[in-house]
Structure 1
């Protein structure tokens, strides 16, 4: 039996007629850049979050960068973020001209350790970017309290947490802005790249729109120099179809994750994902922890089971950040976890047969050792 890490073909098969019609409509109307399909998706996505404004853009990386620039964060500023994430979160801080300041992670949830944030605040700190990693919200209420205490901007990185919740509120609705990725493998994924920014702040909305569109709100009238970062009509149409199903897909991801948790909990050598109290986890990724991560991954691959590592090198230890001079002692939890975390297949259409096969092969490997 083969178990892919994610199966986008099977998802497409379930919505093929709707997607094909949506794509054909965009082509027949030549609504490739901007226009009603992008506007409709933006309205629907913002509405589903209960937010005033959604600004679609080219990808999730641009979403963070545009937000930072629109908020005036740049040279000489510092932005606090988490040690374990995809590099988009930190590279955009650097590209905006600011300095990324990393905080170690919690061992249970792999999020930014909110208890260490205040020790990293200086007179140059301007913002915090927590990442709602793997589909679960960070302790965002506590982080928001810290941001208010020190008058810091709060930007929520929701690339992996579409419609996750914390204490009754959606992740992405607690700060000044939230950024999203629609990379194909995400819970809400396009058929190419895509991203968006959500905010309730009217002034920020105008600045983000302007910066993402060559510094212009009116054609040929450029108030500032901006960049070209737009979601195209084809992707917007696909996303609008998928938006109708996202909550059900998230429900099935959670159902699958709980099934795996039950099956794997009896294996002492495996640490299963924990769900934060008062949180709705949407399981973009299902991440276990084990001492023999690499060997287990090889065994599973030999049996036809795909896995991933998110992430094999914590950000402070990347060559890109050697100039910051960090050592493993600075981020002991992130350093410990990066050699032990393993992502198993997780998608809504995952079958019990596939999950049972994964569990059996994990048991076989553990027993053999």
Structure 2
């Protein structure tokens, strides 16, 4: 039996159509939630972290942490492992990760006009305004994901699919029947070549997961044990990078040979940067002295430490909720919500965040209060950048040690 992948616009009766196909064929269902759980087990992280890869909004820290790229790599690996078996139905965003080289996979897209989708949304009891907001957000996520997963900016591009079903014109049962009949076509039969392509997908996914775990984000293709790595950002020491990538890739069982090349985007202005996950990469700087804090951010970046900047306590609390920094460098005297109140709230709601107080106006009483509230360290301005860097590294080590426990 062939593999079936179904990608759907929001509110296009996808669950019902998938149910029809599963009931008729008895195939194993792999939806986004299940795949995220599988990927999380492989990666040793929470499923929530993997799930965030499907959203259009990317964390401000991602250029330092590569969390999205790592999540996508683990999703590919989990999917590649699942695709070694036949009789699989992949439903959701993850369906776009299935490579077209696996010719026994049927690719289906469910779409509908806005009126139909609003009607489906209304069945859940939401207002038309809320339904429109949900559709817009879902379509933004779908477009961003299609570009990440397969390089297409339009997730509804017919070139991505073998079958496109307009659900505003097809009853659910008929849509299910069309998919079942299409999956039985001779062209989708499992062959020796298509099984080899699935094995290539698995090997490429394994190599990509190892590379991204070492901080490298490159294109990976596999064919009969031969790996091709594509570098898609400009790099100053290309020869050294090629050697390092080849060394890492060759360590993966099943890899026989490695070729590295520059990709189509190599000559753009963006510069290749290997992520060093041993250094702090999610540091939030909170200070109303704009020139000081922006300069501090640049100096940390020169030491390969990634940071984001906000200028008041309220913005800091909002960013904590949206982007989950790991370490915060916090001034005390700020307009609005002051640093002590920010520290108190952070330790109440996100106790795992380590907070380093950096102030030029604090007293001994302030220091004692901050340490009692759970601050990691209390430093005075002006601070030696090396001392601050060492304090940041110590806070980062504490966080990662706690995760291992």
User: What is the TM-score with the length of structure 1 in the denominator?
Assistant: 0.27
Higher relative contact order (CA 8 A, sep 6+): 1
Considering fraction of residues, name the structure with more helix.
2
Larger Rg: 2
